[in-house]
Homo-oligomer: A and B are copies of this chain.
Amino acid sequence: MNKNGISMAVIKRLPKYHRYLTELLNNDLDRISSKDLSQRIGFTASQIRQDLNCFGDFGQQGYGYNVKELLNQMNIILGLTKEFKTIIIGAGNIGQAVANYGKFEKLGFNLQAIFDTNPKLIGIKIRDIEIQDIDFLDSFLKEKHIDIGIICVPRINAQKVCDILVNNGVNGIWNFAPMDLVVPEEVIIENVHLSDSLLTLSCLMS
């Protein structure tokens, strides 16, 4: 998969650039050389020049990168200059963690609703959003345009929930269920597979 000819490998590195550039700006740093950035971020300077060249000519020989300009451009590329309307399905620990993570709101991910099946959770509010019965998911989606569905339900229900989302025009899925969901080609899926991550750790430790 790629975007405007930019490889997935580069795309996967962009959020890290974004993280470091935001920190630099917060520390009032105006500009940075690829060498300095390299020491902080851990990519080689030539890798950095190559990656950032994909998006235009940001660097200036002997001057370095203008941090603010680069971050602005990065925001555009990462889609952070617009708002994404999101919903969370599954209000267990992971769903609640995502709902409570204020940083996402600041980045433009606007949480519109939370759904669950558990009667003990339905009606409870998380950051002023009342958890609704999942039976209302389909009708909710028919009324409201949602960009991203955040799937935090158990594995066994994940594909069913995903189908409801996709059938109602949701084009982005952030999936925390430990399985690979099947979606049409135009739908973008990003997985957070916690057990895969833990097994990577144990593999490297063994």
Contact = CB atoms under 8 A, between A and B. Distances in A.
B107 A199 contact: yes
Nearest to A173: B201
State the number of copies, please: 2
A193 B15 contact: yes
Interface string A96-132: 1110110110011100000000000000000000000
Contacts of A199: 14-15, 18, 78, 80, 107
B100 A206 contact: no
A204 interface: yes
A92 interface: yes
B174 A197 contact: yes
A15 B92 contact: no
Contact of A19 (B103, B108, B196): B196
A201 B174 contact: yes
User: 5 closest A-B pairs (Cβ-Cβ)?
Assistant: A79-B206, A93-B97, A15-B196, A79-B202, A190-B201
6 contacts: A15-B199, A19-B178, A19-B179, A80-B199, A98-B194, A190-B198
